[in-house]
Amino acid sequence: MVTGLKNPPTDHAGLLAWVAEVAELTTPDQIVWCDGSDAEWKRLTSELVAFGTLEPVPAKPDSFLARTNPNDVARVEERTFICSTNPEDAGPTNNWTSPEYMRETMTDLYRGSMRGRTMYVIPFCMGSLEAEKPMFGVEITDSAYVVISMHIMARMGTHVLEAMGGDAEYVPALHSVGAPLEPGQSDVSWPCNDTKYISHFPETREIWSYGSGYGGNSLLGKKCYALRIGSAMGRDEGWLAEHMLILRLTSPEGKVYHITGAFPSACGKTNLAMLEPTIPGWKVETLGDDIAWLRWGEDGRLWASNPEYGLFGVAPGTDYRTNPNAMRTIEKGHTLFTNVALTEEGDVWWEGMGEPPANATDWKGNEWTPDSEGLSSHPNSRFCTPIKQCPILSDAYEDPRGVPIDAILFGGRRATTIPLVTQARDWTHGVYMGATLSSETTAAAVGQVGVVRRDPMAMLPFIGYNAGDYFDHWIGMGKSADDESKLPSVFYVNWFRRDEDGGFLWPGFGENSRVLKWVVERLEGKAEAVETPIGFNPRPEDIDVEGLDMDPNDLAASLKVDPEEWKAELPLVEEWFTKIGNRLPTQLWAELDALKSRLGVDEE
Ligand SMILES: Nc1nc2c(ncn2[C@@H]2O[C@H](COP(=O)(O)OP(=O)(O)OP(=O)(O)O)[C@@H](O)[C@H]2O)c(=O)[nH]1
Ligand SMILES: O=C([O-])CC(=O)C(=O)O
Ligand SMILES: [Mn+2]
């Protein structure tokens, strides 16, 4: 028997049986039950430094840099599967295989896949341990990098295992980098496999991941549990698992609002969540930057909580001018950087962080100077840092109930068509906005960058079931509200509209507070808007631009509702709805028809 099976730190029979079963299949050298302690962090980071997987970042306390295999740098959507019994239940937006086929295929891959390695067992909890029903998970992994990342990203360790007791339900999440070692074989600094599978079994609430050590592919509490499995749980139990930031906004009069925002990967969630307002008297506090669970509160309102414990933020573009609070968060240390550059002074650097260093080591480990041809950092390079270090973290962060939501923002990265901000007419229209959300692809997933695709509710890669059913669940959430006036108001934003020269029309970042101001003043009935074919839109004079040095033509262009551009969008929406097929709620076709008639497009 491998060490670690004897005298385990739990008497949870189901968990013990699963751990034994996985050990027998994957044949690791030893099993380590992760306790989440500082000593464990020190031991594993030291081992990884000695081994060459991590390099210390001396300029920041207790911080490290990892360089991945250049073929393992982002989520692999093509290799992500939803394995429901009926393919219809995975729907047209997911890759599908039958659960039997996937279990057989992956069992073959897992056989002996941890040979020569340590198998870590990570008990974790997404969201508060004080929740009515704590959302437990256990990740088994053969990657120590995953263990230390989970130290940051989730509540994990002995206290979670104790809270699970002998019989708590949990989501089993199995991960192997797929790189077994033969006796005497030397290891590489970033083991992974060309064959990759990120598989989900929504019916049995299981996750099986193989071949990648990166981000959302391997930190299985995040996208796999909190979004894909979570969304299927939410459908069954009457809540929503969403790809959303959560922030608290306080007006100069001291009124408090909570806003969530769903923007696709690398489209500004972390930045908006940590925003430093440029307008006087307004204050933003952070609650979450990537994932929100939305549940009904006792008051009949929708409440949002952040199930994560850390931030896994896009590094490029982050600096003191764009996101000072992210910089202050990582300055405190205890941060893992992946695929960024290391300067001669022993600090991290990436594109967009002020002046480039004269000399650095790039993300591939090569010498780099500002004259070098390639980028110093991978476009999807990341910082992984404890959310508790965020200087503007809201004191409601630990509250298991979360916060009541006043407004939901949907947003994408669109060079044309989509105005800076639009308010939906009502909940169903808001669901239509979310369901037809579109965005240019980014480096957060493997594949071509800059291609416009539909990304409904910013959840295209994360809906764990049929997208038509998911839209229906959203509409149903509105119907189940005891009073429509208690529902959040929905807005559609676009920070990324461009002028003819390709420059952004809107300055973005801290200036987005001006848009948030209009949003809450709409809720208060104070701000003006005009009704347009696409919803309620501000005129230039409705946006507070005091102190903003901006060409009025650019402001007008960023807000413009151009009927011709919107008419060009209609066939794309029709194609999208047709792709979703017969499970698309009829209300959304009706919304499209209503939009057509408001645009003066004749029905044939
Ligand atoms: N022009 C412009 N760029 C922005 C704005 N907000 C964020 N960005 C840039 O967009 C990129 C992604 O921003 P993030 O805030 O990390 O995006 P995210 O949605 O949290 O991304 P994920 O972590 O992948 O889900 C970064 O390079 C930012 O600098 C904005 O308001 N305007
Ligand atoms: O999951 C990841 O690897 C990174 C992330 O937050 C996203 O892509 O939205
Ligand atoms: Mn983010």
pLDDT along the chain (604 residues), means of 10: 81 98 98 98 98 98 98 97 98 98 98 98 98 98 98 98 98 98 95 98 98 98 98 98 98 98 96 97 98 97 98 97 97 98 98 97 98 97 98 98 98 97 98 97 92 96 98 96 93 97 96 98 97 98 97 98 97 97 98 98 72
Strand 171-176, strand 382-386: pairing:
unpaired
Nearest CA residue ID for atom 9, ligand 1: 268
**382: annotated binding-site residue?**
yes
Q: How far apart are CA 136 and CA 295, in angstroms?
A: 18
Top mutation candidate among 267, 286, 387, 460 for ligand 1, by most atoms within 8 Å of CB: 267
Q: How many CB atoms lie within 10 A of CB 203?
A: 14
Q: Which token pair is 513?
A: 């507070």
pTM of the model: 0.98
Main-chain dihedrals φ then ψ at residue 65, nearest 5 degrees = -120, 135
Our answer on whether the CB atom of 317 is closer than 6 Å to any ligand 1 atom is yes
H or E element in which residue 460 lies: none
Q: Which token pair is 301?
A: 């309102």
Q: Which amino acid is at 2?
A: V
How much distance in Å is there from the Cα of 579 to the middle of ligand 2? 25
Nearest CA residue ID for atom 6, ligand 1: 268
| Ligand 2 atom at minimum distance from 243 CA | 9
Ligand 2, residues at Cβ distance < 6 Å = 75, 215-216, 222-223, 265, 290, 312, 444
Top mutation candidate among 270, 410, 441 for ligand 1, by most atoms within 8 Å of CB: 270
The one-character DSSP state at 119 is E
Top mutation candidate among 263, 314, 323 for ligand 1, by most atoms within 8 Å of CB: 314
H or E element in which residue 107 lies: helix 99-110
**509: annotated binding-site residue?**
yes
How much distance in Å is there from the Cα of 311 to the middle of ligand 2? 10
Ligand nearest to the CA of 507: 1
**243: annotated binding-site residue?**
yes
Q: Where are the alpha helices (DSSP H) in 356-462?
A: 427-435
Listed in sequence order, the residues at least 6 apart from 203 whose beta carbon sits closer than 8 Å to its beta carbon are 84, 85, 99, 232
How much distance in Å is there from the Cα of 84 to the middle of ligand 3? 29
Q: What is the pLDDT at residue 262?
A: 98
H or E element in which residue 138 lies: strand 135-141
Ligand nearest to the CA of 415: 1
H or E element in which residue 102 lies: helix 99-110
Top mutation candidate among 150, 290, 462 for ligand 2, by most atoms within 8 Å of CB: 290
Main-chain dihedrals φ then ψ at residue 598, nearest 5 degrees = -65, -30
Q: What is the pLDDT at residue 251?
A: 98
How much distance in Å is there from the Cα of 147 to the middle of ligand 1? 26
How much distance in Å is there from the Cα of 229 to the middle of ligand 3? 20
**268: annotated binding-site residue?**
yes
How much distance in Å is there from the Cα of 216 to the middle of ligand 2? 5
| Ligand 1 atom at minimum distance from 444 CA | 24
Q: What is the pLDDT at residue 602?
A: 75
Q: Which amino acid is at 82?
A: I
How much distance in Å is there from the Cα of 244 to the middle of ligand 3? 9
Nearest CA residue ID for atom 9, ligand 2: 265
| Ligand 2 atom at minimum distance from 444 CA | 8
Q: Which of 83, 267, 384, 390 is catalytic?
A: 267
Q: How far apart are CA 59 and CA 62, in angstroms?
A: 9
Q: Which token pair is 236?
A: 């069954």
How much distance in Å is there from the Cα of 408 to the middle of ligand 1? 18
263-269-275 Cα angle (round to 5)? 140
Q: How many CB atoms lie within 10 A of CB 6?
A: 8
**Residue 307 in contact with residue 126, Cβ under 8 Å?**
yes
Q: What is the pLDDT at residue 2?
A: 72
SS3 helix, strand, coil % of the chain, rounded to 5? 30, 20, 45
Nearest CA residue ID for atom 8, ligand 1: 268
Our answer on whether the CB atom of 507 is closer than 6 Å to any ligand 1 atom is no
Q: What is the pLDDT at residue 603?
A: 64
**Residue 174 in contact with residue 219, Cβ under 8 Å?**
no
**Residue 209 in contact with residue 231, Cβ under 8 Å?**
no
Listed in sequence order, the residues at least 6 apart from 1 whose beta carbon sits closer than 8 Å to its beta carbon are none
**430: annotated binding-site residue?**
no
Ligand nearest to the CA of 446: 2
Q: What is the pLDDT at residue 604?
A: 55
Q: What is the pLDDT at residue 1?
A: 58
267 flagged as catalytic: yes
**414: annotated binding-site residue?**
no
Q: How far apart are CA 453 and CA 550, in angstroms?
A: 30
| Ligand 1 atom at minimum distance from 266 CA | 21
**Residue 389 in contact with residue 332, Cβ under 8 Å?**
yes
**267: annotated binding-site residue?**
yes
**176: annotated binding-site residue?**
no
Q: Map residue 449 onto helix, strand or coil.
A: coil
